[in-house]
């Protein structure tokens, strides 16, 4: 009889170990499937019930296997609890996250609603502004149209007024032309009458002037003859006087001759004073301020040939223009040719002398 071999310790634990591992794998698979298919439930403490089946075998290996299986089950239960707690924490985090997201979505919706309200208000405001602008544009267009209409009416009125004025002016011009023609016709007739009267008058005046000229010529000829006769008589009388004076000088004593010479010199001096006054009066231009009996004393300087060299006011009349006119009148004499040939003794008093200027003007 063949002796049977007792199994070794490793052989005794092999199959229970395999069965325990397979059982754990099956349990873990079922747990994962149940977690994947189970809906979200409120958190609760997991209750793990483990039923240990006592094998009929009372061997030490079976007992150890059972203990090991129980330990693995306990660990599995602890892991299951940890997984469930993690899942619960994850669910809570997701719930918080969902709440926050919902809150954010609500805030976003509120912001979008506010933005929409603002956009709506802005659109309404824009529409109102556009409406007001359109109304203002229409009012402005209406005003421009009214102004244009008024301007056109005014233009037409101005044209009508100008046309009326032009017609009135034309009518007035025609009337004026007609009247001017009539006046010209009357004037021609009157001018002809006046010309005839003037011609007759001129002829009478010419005849009278011709007659007067003839009479004046006769009178002038007679006057010239009388004047010439008087001058000749005066010249002859002067020559006679000079001859008589010369004879007296030659026949009388030296004292008598000196007296006659002085008397003759005084007469010559008086005649030259009168000559200067007469020449000055001839060239005198009467100023507006001249009055009757005005008198100015002039200081006059002359050369032996009778040239006036200087004229100044020695004593004023009190009227500047009159004094200036007297100075100008004497300066205008220029030269007295009558003084040429005077003896030095007779001329010396005229080198610088004073003369009272009082023109004998009938207007004074």
Asked if residue 305 belongs to a domain, the reply is: yes
Reported as a single tens digit per residue, the pLDDT across 262-317 is 444 444 445 677 788 888 888 888 888 888 888 899 999 988 888 899 999 999 98
Burial (CB count <10 Å: 0-12, 13-18, 19+), residue 311: buried
Asked if residue 149 belongs to a domain, the reply is: no
- Out of 161-170, 181-190, 245-254, least confident range: 245-254
Contact 276, 330 (CB under 8 A): yes
Asked if residue 133 belongs to a domain, the reply is: no
Q: Is the model more confident about 322 or about 213?
A: 322
Asked if residue 5 belongs to a domain, the reply is: no
C-alpha distance across the termini of the chain, in Å: 213
Residues forming beta bridges with residue 354, ordered by sequence position = 299
The percentage of residues in the chain with a pLDDT greater than 70, rounded to a whole number, is 71
**Separation of alpha carbons 300 and 351, rounded Å:** 8
User: What is the pLDDT, as a whole number, of residue 249?
Assistant: 46
Q: At what angle do helices 254-282 and 60-251 cross, to 10 degrees?
A: 140
Written as six digits, the tokens of 62 are: 């079976």
User: What is the pLDDT, as a whole number, of residue 362?
Assistant: 34
Supply the Cα-derived Rg of the chain in whole angstroms: 82
Asked if residue 108 belongs to a domain, the reply is: no
User: What is the pLDDT, as a whole number, of residue 342?
Assistant: 78
User: What is the pLDDT, as a whole number, of residue 250?
Assistant: 44
How many beta carbons lie within 10 A of that of residue 339, not counting itself? 20
Q: Is the model more confident about 352 or about 201?
A: 352
- Out of 28-42, 186-200, 236-250, 293-307, least confident range: 236-250
Asked if residue 136 belongs to a domain, the reply is: no
Q: Is pLDDT of 64 > 70? A: yes
**Separation of alpha carbons 24 and 74, rounded Å:** 11
CA 260 to chain centre: 93
Q: Look up tokens 């009889």; give the residue.
A: 1
Contact 325, 285 (CB under 8 A): yes
Return the closest-CA partner of residue 290 out of 329, 250, 340, 245.
329
**Separation of alpha carbons 284 and 264, rounded Å:** 30
Written as six digits, the tokens of 202 are: 């001129």
Secondary structure of residue 200 in the 3-state scheme: helix
User: What is the pLDDT, as a whole number, of residue 321?
Assistant: 92
Q: Are strands 352-357 and 308-315 parallel, antiparallel or unpaired?
A: unpaired
Contact 258, 307 (CB under 8 A): no
Q: Which domain holds residue 340?
A: 265-357
Contact 350, 272 (CB under 8 A): yes
CATH code for the domain of 269: 3.30.1150.10
Asked if residue 52 belongs to a domain, the reply is: no
Asked if residue 187 belongs to a domain, the reply is: no
Domain count within the chain: 1
Secondary structure of residue 324 in the 3-state scheme: helix
């Amino acid at each position: 009889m063949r002796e049977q071999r007792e199994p070794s310790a490793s052989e005794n634990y092999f199959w229970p170990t395999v069965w325990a591992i397979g059982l754990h794998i099956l349990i873990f698979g079922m747990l994962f499937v149940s977690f994947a298919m189970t809906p979200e439930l409120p958190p609760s403490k997991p209750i793990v019930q483990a039923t240990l089946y006592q094998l009929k075998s009372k061997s030490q290996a079976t007992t150890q296997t059972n203990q090991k299986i129980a330990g693995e089950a306990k660990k599995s239960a602890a892991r299951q609890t940890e997984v469930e707690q993690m899942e619960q924490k994850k669910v809570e985090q997701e719930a918080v996250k969902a709440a926050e997201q919902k809150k954010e979505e609500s805030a976003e919706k509120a912001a979008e609603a506010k933005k929409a309200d603002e956009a709506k208000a802005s659109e309404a405001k824009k529409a109102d502004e556009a409406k007001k602008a359109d109304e203002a544009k229409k009012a402005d267009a209406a005003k421009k149209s009214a102004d244009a209409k008024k301007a056109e009416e005014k233009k037409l009125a101005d044209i009508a007024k100008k046309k009326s004025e032009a017609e009135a002016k034309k009518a007035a011009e025609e009337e004026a032309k007609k009247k001017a023609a009539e006046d010209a016709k009357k004037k021609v007739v009157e001018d002809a009458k006046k010309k005839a009267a003037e011609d007759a008058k001129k002829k009478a005046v010419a005849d009278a002037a011709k007659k007067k000229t003839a009479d004046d010529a006769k009178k002038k000829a007679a006057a010239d003859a009388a004047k010439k006769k008087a001058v000749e008589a005066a010249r002859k009388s002067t020559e006679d006087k000079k001859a008589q004076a010369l004879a007296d000088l030659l026949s009388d004593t030296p004292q008598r001759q000196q007296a006659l010479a002085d008397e003759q010199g005084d007469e010559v001096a008086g005649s030259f004073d009168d000559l200067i006054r007469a020449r000055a009066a001839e060239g005198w231009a009467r100023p507006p301020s001249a009055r009757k009996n005005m008198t100015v004393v002039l200081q006059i300087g002359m050369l032996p040939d009778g040239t006036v060299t200087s004229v100044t006011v020695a004593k004023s009349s009190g009227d500047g223009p009159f004094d200036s006119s007297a100075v100008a009148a004497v300066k205008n004499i220029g030269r007295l040719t009558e003084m040429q040939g005077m003896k030095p003794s007779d001329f010396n008093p005229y080198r610088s002398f004073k003369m009272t200027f009082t023109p004998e003007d009938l207007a004074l």
